[in-house]
Amino acid sequence: MFIDTHSHIYTDEFSSDRAEVIERAKNAGIDKIVIPNIDSSSIRPMLNLADSAPEYFFPLMGLHPTSVKEDFREELKIMDYWLNKRKFYGIGEIGIDLYWERTFIEEQIEAFETQVEWAIKFQMPVVIHVRDSYNEVMKVLYRHKNSLLKGIFHSFTGSEEQAKEIIDLGFKIGLGGIVTFKNSGLNLVVPEIPLEQIVLETDSPYLSPVPFRGKRNESSHITYIASKIADLKGIDVKAVASITSQNACELFGF
């Protein structure tokens, strides 16, 4: 059985065939799907999906860095309201994204810092989005180094040295469709990451693995990600499924 630790299956991209996508995931052996939030507009569809099958969908609450704008403090108030209202399994998707623009860099850092503090307060894991922002993210995390903070570096694309630094801080490495891309460089890094430090994720509907690259991603595709990791490590895919699922269960408290 597999666990998809990152899917936005509640978004409009799945509005026409969500039931079929879920059925394909179950048929592919996906036992649980973690669904991170994006911003205030995504809360209701995410929670509706989570409440439709609470034994299958596990919601997170957080403000995505690309949704951090002038009104980010108002957005954070909404996130804080929900965190105090019902059960969530982590704080996410949070982080810093400087790929598209740097206009709101200070706001992104403040929002990230605030949400990291929530994770410590509620003793929840964080799911961290890092894009062209590794140094900025690590500065925040090092300020909380001795706080028992834990979580996932989502959609990891970094170096072996970065992977080691992340693991030394107590975080897991989230591997998705990018691991199947020929020029990602992960073919050199993944063999050096202990399987006990890896979780699987799709980031549906984004980042489809080969042979679906460029098309809508979905949770059933996690089998291609697991197979690639197994190939890179020279181990059986069943070991990848078993150990990464155990990692996810321990992290999120399933």
Mean pLDDT of 32-38: 98
> CB-based contacts of 12: which residues, under 8 Å, 6+ apart?
none
Mean pLDDT of 167-193: 97
What is the band of 237 on the pLDDT scale with cuts at 50, 70, 90?
very high
Q: Which two tokens stand for residue 120?
A: 């410590």
Residue 170 region by backbone torsions, left for phi larger than 0, else alpha for psi between -120 and 50, else beta? left
What is the band of 36 on the pLDDT scale with cuts at 50, 70, 90?
very high
8 pLDDT above the threshold of 90: yes
CATH (domain of 143):
3.20.20.140
Would you state the pLDDT for residue 179?
Answer: 98
Would you state the pLDDT for residue 220?
Answer: 98
Would you state the pLDDT for residue 146?
Answer: 79
Q: Are the C-beta atoms of residues 172 and 199 closer than 8 Å to each other?
A: yes
Mean pLDDT of 143-163: 94
189 pLDDT above the threshold of 90: yes
Mean pLDDT of 46-59: 98
* Cis bond before residue 205 (omega within 30° of 0): yes
Instruction: Tally Cβ neighbours within 10 Å of residue 217.
Output: 23
100 pLDDT above the threshold of 90: no
Q: Where are the alpha helices (DSSP H) in 68-216?
A: 72-83, 105-122, 134-142, 160-168, 186-189
Dist. CA 254–CA 235, nearest whole Å = 26
Mean pLDDT of 3-16: 98
**Domains contained in the chain, number:** 1
Dist. CA 105–CA 96, nearest whole Å = 8
Strands 126-131 and 91-97: parallel
10 pLDDT above the threshold of 90: yes
Q: Are the C-beta atoms of residues 169 and 143 closer than 8 Å to each other?
A: no
Would you state the pLDDT for residue 101?
Answer: 87
The boundaries of the domain holding residue 21 are 2-252
Residue 25 amino acid letter: A
What is the band of 147 on the pLDDT scale with cuts at 50, 70, 90?
confident
